[in-house]
Structure 1
Amino acid sequence: MAESAQPATGRAEAGRSKNTVAGRSKVLTSYDPRTGEVVGEYASMGAGELTRTVRSAHSAEHWWAALGFDARKRWLLDWKRAIARGTRDLVELISSETGKPRLDAAIEVTLAVEHLDWVARHAGRTLGRTNRLSASLRRDSTGTIGHLPLGVVGVLGPWHNPVLTPMNSIAGAMASGNAVVFKPSELTPGVGAWLADTWNHLAPNQPVLQVVTGDSATAAALCRSHVDKLAYAGSNAGAREVAALAAQSSTPLVVEQGGRGAMVVQVDAKLDAAAAAAVYGAMANAGQQPAGVRCVYVADSVYEPFLELVADQAKRLRPGADRRASYGPMILESQIEVVRRQVRDAVTRGARLVVGGLDSIREPYIEPIVLTDVPEVSSAVTGEPVGPVLVVNRVATMDEAAERVNAAENPRTVAVFTRDVRSVPEFAAHLRSELITVNSAPVYGVHGPGRIRNPQVLREFARAQTITEKHPSDQITSGTFEKHPRRLRVARALFRMRHRV
């Protein structure tokens, strides 16, 4: 479920729990994956602490829900401003716990703040009570529909975007009137604690947002804690584990699964822009983004120039720990080995190395790797995309490109590059993908149920409630055993007119 911390050779174990003194609680230590230095130590909370946290969240939820949309909006905008004022500290903490370059961390914080601002300002109009009129010809009833909070929402966050991805759920749940118990990744506990602290400084006596730190046992305890809904973002394997635990208590679950997608480059595409997007989509955050680009399918007539542009851009990138580095380290040793196996499998099956190779893997860093002529059965295409590896394959037609995209087990996103934007809907109709982007590669937070600036992120954490009022002119449903013959005759006549009987 939670990412087990398997650090690269020579580094301290990241995110491991350890007993400091016999009989005392475990301590979760966070390490900088670039240097192995300790970033901070946090409690590794058990089931008892989880129960007390959820209980206090239920108490705070009653106060928070009673405030209404306008008051919650003011609180959330104050919290947004507190996060924005602390951007420099938060960026430094993200960079320390994930190894991201500061620029990437700053982009993440900026998008998270913008999302918080959006949900705060749109919750009332999205979830507030609105009038609804019966669609029937008789207009026999009128009604309104509104949305009420669920109660307490548990959020399980990933490490790769430790602010932006969980903020999708945290902000949506809070704006909808719920209290939140947030369990950050065991690799980024400091980021989660920082977010909770900024809220607590605003409302020290109202724990509407609380953080629980720990390893996979803590995450499992949250899943079993009988919260009103769980939100999980992470791998497919983790989603299956969370779903199994949530099912034990019949807890509703919303899952935001990642997965780098495909890119299709048509003959009329702007090749330099497409190449830049492909390289960034595959290699941002060392290829550890929850979205982005894994495989590019290029029209045969532009394949050679496109591949040259990709190779040129990829060769300019340099991983490292300094400010000039393009991206940081691989945070999990197990993922380094996955990259090694996939590259080896592709080459064994006849793929051609364009940039880099097995010697590009210098733990904890992996230099850019670009492969072409990769068989679709290779694990470099079918396996989990976890590193700065890009596959570029040529296709004879766009129909072939669609077939290759659809052959993937779960083709979540497809980026289409073309100058003829009007032709995209027709091409997209042949794809099984959830999200199609045009002339851009999805990288940050625009996939899954937690899409940025999407009203669905608010509705996920509220329950709809309809209030209807019977209209006096109702000719059929009198609501009693007394049926008036005249009303029945009128109803029969209206039925015949409406349905041409």
Structure 2
Amino acid sequence: MTSTAPVRTGRPGTIGGVVGAPPASRATELVNRVRGGADSAPVEMKAPFTGLTTATLPQATDADTRAAFARARSAQRSWAQRPVAERQRILLRLHELVLRHQDEALDLVQIEAGKARLDAFDEVSATALVAAYYGKHAAKILAPRRAPGVLPLLTKAGELRHPKGVVGVISPWNYPLALTAMDVLPALVAGNTVVQKPDNQTALSALWLHELAERAGLPVEAWQIVLGRGSRIGDALVEESDYLCFTGSTPTGKQLAGRIAQRLTSYSLELGGKNPMIVLPGADLDRAAAGAVTACFSSAGQLCVSVERIYVHDSVRDEFTRAFAEKTAALRLGGSLDYGPGMGSLTSAEQLAAVRAHVDDARAHGATVVTGGRTRPDLGPLFYEPTILTGVTERARVFAEETFGPVVSVYGYTDVEDAIERANDTPYGLNASVWCGDGTEGWEVASRLKAGTVNVNEGYAATFGTVGVPMGGMKDSGVGRRNGAEGLLKYTEAQSIAVQRGLRLRPFRGMPPGLWAKGMTAGMRLLRRLPRR
């Protein structure tokens, strides 16, 4: 397996020429955007590549967080009164700013999350795509909708969409830029204001987008960012939000859902996954193996939609596994701020420990490590080689538990029905992948997989990048969707209005109710026969 050591560079985005921390002045500028930090114990964050300090972050208290909601609530009415077209223009300006200043974003995402640069670019492109999609389509999606009235010509009916109010967003550390954009931008363009709690580890990336949004014309109070410990400010986020959007673990999501239910407010949750990939006998095995490298090891496997289980038909399993192992072993590891390395490091010591535990447990239960299976302290404190396992049994934790790291298990299957059944045999249902030679067959298999998104001859990027279709999980992988019309309308309340003219929807004075009911029955039969409008 090839590798590149963390490099020295004099380019912007480094401190003292050593990759691993943003310039101190720039980090300070971003941190100063945070209002509130009365907690007496600030948090010092470290860069995964090197362990160098990226920033010292103030931590909000419960009172700080409630004050942020108060400011957002005060600003929401005037923000919602702005024409949708004006809100759209802000998103389109943000789209251009993100692309123009992407180098700084790439540095920040790499430094904070430990990603390879190409994986960081996925975040930049996703952010730009989301801004462009809602910048172009929000007005049409949110427009008042006419509906056929109960009595043609006499009943005028329609549907309006009103913003929820103040949306709370709890963002994870693994995709700090893309998931901020996917959750915050549609909430804003729908007329809501937002209070976001990004993870401390990758807070600077969210603050960078926040800065650009204000440069694009977003009012200062419309998007509040609070940094803090969930144990200190979680109550405020749940109790003050008119809608809560959470991305994280399934156990935490279930706890939040139970608490939100007591308030009868709405929420969306993107949670865990144990995502399968099926390789059908007719697939191009070289393409499938190359696609598996991306599907399994992008962002070092710390991606909710990354593949952790691969089912390959027995007739081609050995050939696929050899090709997959060769391409995986050739993947370059490293921590430089350029497009050289193909995979970066894990983001935290906790993730590294979880990955090691799963691989060690699988070995102990008889699994074979085809390639990888080692830490790489020569590259940095949190590097772990991309790892392929075979012979994994149900006794191993990695068989059913989400690893959230660069580890994948390869299994054989006898027929397509077997593969579909085994792919669906999980409490999760976030993403899946099907590789085939016949697109029609691939679509048919995809339609039978219990996952919110399924990619044919791709790992995850086709659905992830197609912002016009919804993205989310089935079963224990979540509730609700982001992206597409659904990802915007979830932040609104539907209101139906009907205006009745002339004929009342009750019997005329002196008319027997039975006669009225017969007349209405005949009318409903007639309406059924009328052509659709």
Is the 8 Å Cα contact of residues 343 and 358 (structure 1) preserved in structure 2? no
Distance in 2, Cα, partners of 1:248 & 1:494: 43
Is the 8 Å Cα contact of residues 183 and 192 (structure 1) preserved in structure 2? no
Give 1:178-257 correspondences, 5 Å limit: 178-203=192-217, 206-247=220-261, 249-257=263-271
Provide closer, same or farther for how the CA distance between residues 253 and 24 of structure 1 changes in structure 2, counting only shifts above 3 A. Answer: closer
Distance in 2, Cα, partners of 1:224 & 1:30: 26
Distance in 1, Cα, partners of 2:151 & 2:283: 51
Question: Could you give the per-residue CA deviations for residues 136-174 of structure 1, whole angstroms, max 9, x where no partner exists?
Answer: 686762211121111110111111100101211101101
Distance in 1, Cα, partners of 2:281 & 2:310: 13
Structure 2 spans left out of the alignment, 5+ residues? 1-19, 22-37, 466-470, 473-478
Q: Which deviates the most, 288-297 or 318-327?
A: 318-327
Aligned to 2:421: 403
Give 1:71-470 correspondences, 5 Å limit: 71-134=86-149, 141-203=155-217, 206-247=220-261, 249-322=263-336, 323=338, 324-358=340-374, 363-443=381-461, 445=464, 447-448=471-472, 453-470=483-500
DSSP 3-state at the match of 1:40 = strand
Q: Give the C-alpha shift of residue 409 in structure 1.
A: 1.8
DSSP 3-state at the match of 1:366 = coil
Aligned to 2:67: 52
Q: Which deviates the most, 107-116 or 443-452?
A: 443-452
Question: Could you give the per-residue CA deviations for residues 470-493 of structure 1, whole angstroms, max 9, x where no partner exists?
Answer: 25356xx23877647876664354
Provide closer, same or farther for how the CA distance between residues 85 and 302 of structure 1 changes in structure 2, counting only shifts above 3 A. Answer: same
Question: Could you give the per-residue CA deviations for residues 259-301 of structure 1, whole angstroms, max 9, x where no partner exists?
Answer: 2511000110011111111121111111111111111100111
Distance in 1, Cα, partners of 2:168 & 2:223: 10
Q: Give the C-alpha shift of residue 497 in structure 1.
A: 6.7
- TM-score, normalised on structure 1? 0.87
Structure 1 spans left out of the alignment, 5+ residues? 1-10, 13-22
Give 1:32-51 correspondences, 5 Å limit: 32-51=47-66
Q: Which deviates the most, 149-158 or 481-490?
A: 481-490
Aligned to 1:6: none
Distance in 2, Cα, partners of 1:214 & 1:176: 27
Q: Which deviates the most, 301-310 or 420-429?
A: 420-429
Q: Which deviates the most, 481-490 or 248-257?
A: 481-490
Distance in 2, Cα, partners of 1:495 & 1:176: 37
Distance in 2, Cα, partners of 1:242 & 1:166: 19
Q: Give the C-alpha shift of residue 348 in structure 1.
A: 2.7
Is the 8 Å Cα contact of residues 223 and 246 (structure 1) preserved in structure 2? no
Aligned to 1:491: 520
Provide closer, same or farther for how the CA distance between residues 78 and 204 of structure 1 changes in structure 2, counting only shifts above 3 A. Answer: closer
Aligned to 2:475: none
Q: Give the C-alpha shift of residue 96 in structure 1.
A: 1.1
Q: Give the C-alpha shift of residue 393 in structure 1.
A: 0.9
Is the 8 Å Cα contact of residues 269 and 418 (structure 1) preserved in structure 2? yes
Q: Give the C-alpha shift of residue 243 in structure 1.
A: 2.5
Question: Could you give the per-residue CA deviations for residues 60-114 of structure 1, whole angstroms, max 9, x where no partner exists?
Answer: 1111100121111122222333333322212211111111122221221121111
Distance in 1, Cα, partners of 2:140 & 2:223: 23
Distance in 2, Cα, partners of 1:496 & 1:416: 46
DSSP 3-state at the match of 2:498 = strand
Provide closer, same or farther for how the CA distance between residues 204 and 345 of structure 1 changes in structure 2, counting only shifts above 3 A. Answer: closer
Q: Give the C-alpha shift of residue 30 in structure 1.
A: 2.3
Distance in 2, Cα, partners of 1:84 & 1:462: 29
> Which residue identity is paired with 1:345?
D
Distance in 2, Cα, partners of 1:346 & 1:89: 40
Number of residue-to-residue matches in the alignment: 477
Provide closer, same or farther for how the CA distance between residues 77 and 338 of structure 1 changes in structure 2, counting only shifts above 3 A. Answer: same
Q: Which deviates the most, 442-451 or 67-76?
A: 442-451
Q: Give the C-alpha shift of residue 369 in structure 1.
A: 1.1
DSSP 3-state at the match of 1:353 = strand
Q: CA RMSD in A?
A: 2.8
Provide closer, same or farther for how the CA distance between residues 480 and 61 of structure 1 changes in structure 2, counting only shifts above 3 A. Answer: farther
Is the 8 Å Cα contact of residues 49 and 382 (structure 2) preserved in structure 1? yes
Question: Could you give the per-residue CA deviations for residues 191-226 of structure 1, whole angstroms, max 9, x where no partner exists?
Answer: 222222223345586411111112223551442442
Q: Which deviates the most, 486-495 or 278-287?
A: 486-495
> Which residue identity is paired with 1:29?
E
Distance in 2, Cα, partners of 1:187 & 1:479: 67
Provide closer, same or farther for how the CA distance between residues 499 and 126 of structure 1 changes in structure 2, counting only shifts above 3 A. Answer: closer
DSSP 3-state at the match of 2:159 = strand
DSSP 3-state at the match of 2:115 = coil
Provide closer, same or farther for how the CA distance between residues 237 and 492 of structure 1 changes in structure 2, counting only shifts above 3 A. Answer: closer
DSSP 3-state at the match of 1:336 = helix
Aligned to 1:8: none
Aligned to 2:41: 26
> Which residue identity is paired with 2:420?
A
Provide closer, same or farther for how the CA distance between residues 484 and 98 of structure 1 changes in structure 2, counting only shifts above 3 A. Answer: same
Provide closer, same or farther for how the CA distance between residues 122 and 258 of structure 1 changes in structure 2, counting only shifts above 3 A. Answer: farther
Provide closer, same or farther for how the CA distance between residues 36 and 472 of structure 1 changes in structure 2, counting only shifts above 3 A. Answer: same
Aligned to 1:4: none
- TM-score, normalised on structure 2? 0.82
> Which residue identity is paired with 2:84?
F
Distance in 1, Cα, partners of 2:315 & 2:431: 24
Distance in 1, Cα, partners of 2:447 & 2:103: 44
Provide closer, same or farther for how the CA distance between residues 378 and 131 of structure 1 changes in structure 2, counting only shifts above 3 A. Answer: same
Is the 8 Å Cα contact of residues 46 and 217 (structure 1) preserved in structure 2? no
DSSP 3-state at the match of 1:145 = strand
DSSP 3-state at the match of 2:82 = helix
Q: Give the C-alpha shift of residue 453 in structure 1.
A: 4.5
Distance in 2, Cα, partners of 1:340 & 1:57: 43
Paired-residue identity, %: 27
Provide closer, same or farther for how the CA distance between residues 296 and 72 of structure 1 changes in structure 2, counting only shifts above 3 A. Answer: same
